[in-house]
Homo-oligomer: A and B are copies of this chain.
């Protein structure tokens, strides 16, 4: 694996994945570095692309999205390219992957209710055949990336 991340940097990544707003001073206290040393390590990891950003996690239900779904799409011949260009514009789609297998695309979507779902699926049918799975619960939610054993 990538050996450029030492143990101190892994501990910084752990802290920031748990609470991205934690101060560098506080992280420094936990891992035994001064605030400028933490800041410098964070800056370097940002520049290398290891740290890609910091995001607030927002409740889906409390923002009016009572329904979540996993939707797979098997794109029609010649329709995949236009779908890939269009999908970033859909507010409902919070994650979208191109995958191997019979279906080309899998999406995680947030929706207000079943009427919203119906309208959303209607917008997709021009691109391909969809299959919808309603999300019943979120068993693991954005688990942190850990030093992969090895």
Contact = CB atoms under 8 A, between A and B. Distances in A.
Contact of A99 (B63, B136, B148): B136
A145 B60 contact: yes
A140 interface: yes
A93 B64 CA distance: 27
Given A112-B1, A135-B97, A53 B54 contact: no
Contacts of A55: 16-18, 20, 54-55, 57, 142, 144
Copies per assembly: 2
B143 A64 contact: no
Interface in A10-43: 13, 16-21
13 contacts: A5-B63, A21-B54, A49-B59, A54-B56, A63-B145, A88-B140, A93-B143, A95-B138, A95-B143, A97-B139, A100-B136, A101-B131, A107-B140
Given A19-B54, A21-B21, A107-B140, 19 more contacts: A1-B112, A2-B62, A2-B63, A20-B20, A49-B59, A52-B57, A54-B55, A63-B147, A64-B148, A65-B148, A87-B140, A88-B140, A94-B140, A94-B143, A95-B143, A96-B139, A98-B135, A99-B133, A106-B133
